[in-house]
Amino acid sequence: MSPARKKPTMKDKEARLGYLLIAPSLILIAIVILYPVIYNITLSFQNVALNPRRSNTFIGFDNYVALLTDPSLWHSLWVTLIYTTATVIGATVLGVAVALLLNQQLKGRRLYRSVVLLPYVAPIISLVFVWQYMFNPVYGMVNYTLVQQLGVLGEYVDWLDSPNAALTLVSVFDIWHLFPFCFMMVLAKLQSIDQTVYEAAEIDGAGGWNKFRFITMPEVQFVVGSLMILRFIWNFYKFDDVYLLTKEVPVVGVYTYELAFTTFDHGLAAAITVTLFILIMVFVLFAVRKVLKW
Domains by residue range for the chain, with CATH? 84-246 (1.10.3720.10)
The answer on pLDDT for 15 being more than 80 is no
pLDDT (average), residues 102-119: 86
**How much is the pLDDT for 154?**
81
Structural contact between residues 161 and 138, judged by C-beta atoms closer than 8 angstroms: no
The answer on pLDDT for 180 being more than 60 is yes
Structural contact between residues 275 and 161, judged by C-beta atoms closer than 8 angstroms: no
Tell me which of 32 and 12 has the higher pLDDT.
32
Strands (DSSP E) found in the chain: 46-47, 57-58
pLDDT category at 291 given cuts 50, 70, 90 is low
Q: How many CB atoms lie within 10 A of CB 13?
A: 10
Q: List pLDDT tens digits, range 186-234.
A: 998 888 888 888 878 888 777 778 888 888 888 888 888 888 888 898 8
pLDDT (average), residues 165-186: 92
**How much is the pLDDT for 168?**
92
Tell me the C-alpha to C-alpha distance, in Å, between residue 74 and each of 1, 202, 238, 277.
Answer: 71, 52, 17, 16
Average pLDDT across the chain, whole number: 85
Q: How far apart are CA 260 and CA 243, in angstroms?
A: 15
The answer on pLDDT for 12 being more than 80 is no
Q: Can you tell me whether residue 58 is helix, strand or coil?
A: strand
pLDDT (average), residues 47-59: 79
The answer on pLDDT for 280 being more than 60 is yes
**How much is the pLDDT for 293?**
64
The answer on pLDDT for 269 being more than 60 is yes
Backbone angles phi, psi at 257, to 5 degrees: -60, -50
pLDDT category at 294 given cuts 50, 70, 90 is low
Tell me which of 289 and 65 has the higher pLDDT.
65
pTM: 0.83
Q: List pLDDT tens digits, range 125-171.
A: 889 999 999 998 888 888 888 888 888 888 888 888 888 899 999 99
